[in-house]
A and B are shown apart, each in its own frame.
Chain A
């Protein structure tokens, strides 16, 4: 098959469902961005550049709550560390002799939860020379659909009647809650989710809106890590 047909196959496979799942969560991000007083263009740019709905939720919920920018940057950084192991496990699947560094940089930028899951499932079955065009067709489709739906979410938040606008803003918390629960692997994850959920509102009271998320992440995450380590040691 020619590489153009492989790209088209990636685009079609992404449009079959995955692009709409990511895009759906981005509708809520568009609403959050509008809530923080940001224009539609900036909201769409955040999807193309940040390309991580948890990081975007921290950014826009943080701005709306009056969090200081350095604290937001630190919280975003902590929430995105997961990309390090994710990208590290994807690149070897795409690697070819004499590959340009620009290809790897762009491939790394496209990595987010959905593309990571789908790539690990689909790429190993493809011949080596087809993987890069397929991956870029798939990944770019995810990002374009998501940016469009971010813009749509921003516009809808301004025009929908208030109860439906409330439903739009509710998309992000309900989707993340279920994804977190669906992704639970072992005791460390369960403790991290439960403690993080309970400690964040307490943290707002104890350390204020600037540092509450960071404090929650560090305290609940460290306890969860310790619990997980003990569980692993016993098994």
Chain B
């Protein structure tokens, strides 16, 4: 697979997009085929939903614990603290996702300025 990508040269990232596209799209189009035959309340789908939810939480944790680029320069404690503050603001503002994002971002960018290398 990596040989194939080396052959593609600068076009390789466009091929890699297919690694995101195909495994996503297959479920949407499968739904077109089976729309009338599968029970949306089935046990298999309940399990799959739980796995997908855990996977997404895992992605978030991975980005927070081992981020790349400019986020890596911000101390881990500030990154976790900003998430905790975002959750608190979300609750206090009556379950407002926007309020949570704004408070979390303000805290993180503030910390990033304070700890500028």
Q: Which residues does A use to contact B, with CB under 8 Å?
A: 31-32, 34-39, 41-42, 45-46, 49-52, 54-59, 61, 63-65, 69-70, 72-89, 91-92, 101, 104-105, 108-109, 111, 157, 162-182, 188-189, 191-201, 203-204, 212-214, 216-222, 224-225, 228-229
Contacts and interface: CB of A to CB of B under 8 A. Distances in A.
A65 B66 CA distance: 8
B77 interface: no
Contact of B57 (A157, A192, A219): A192
Nearest to A54: B56
B87 A177 contact: yes
Nearest to B2: A69
Given A54-B55, A182-B90, 4 more contacts: A57-B63, A61-B63, A182-B97, A201-B62
Contact of B28 (A58, A111, A199, A222): A111
Contacts of A214: 55
A45 B70 contact: no
> 7 closest A-B pairs (Cβ-Cβ)?
A221-B51, A196-B57, A77-B23, A163-B112, A196-B54, A217-B55, A200-B58
Interface in B62-110: 62-71, 73-74, 79, 82-83, 86-87, 90, 95, 97, 100-101, 104-105, 108-109
A228 B56 contact: no
Interface of B: 1, 10, 13-14, 16-32, 34-35, 38, 40, 43, 45-71, 73-74, 79, 82-83, 86-87, 90, 95, 97, 100-101, 104-105, 108-109, 112-113, 116
Contacts of A164: 109, 112
A43 to B, nearest CB: 8
Given A39-B13, A170-B105, A46 B35 contact: no
B87 A162 contact: no
B70 A162 contact: yes
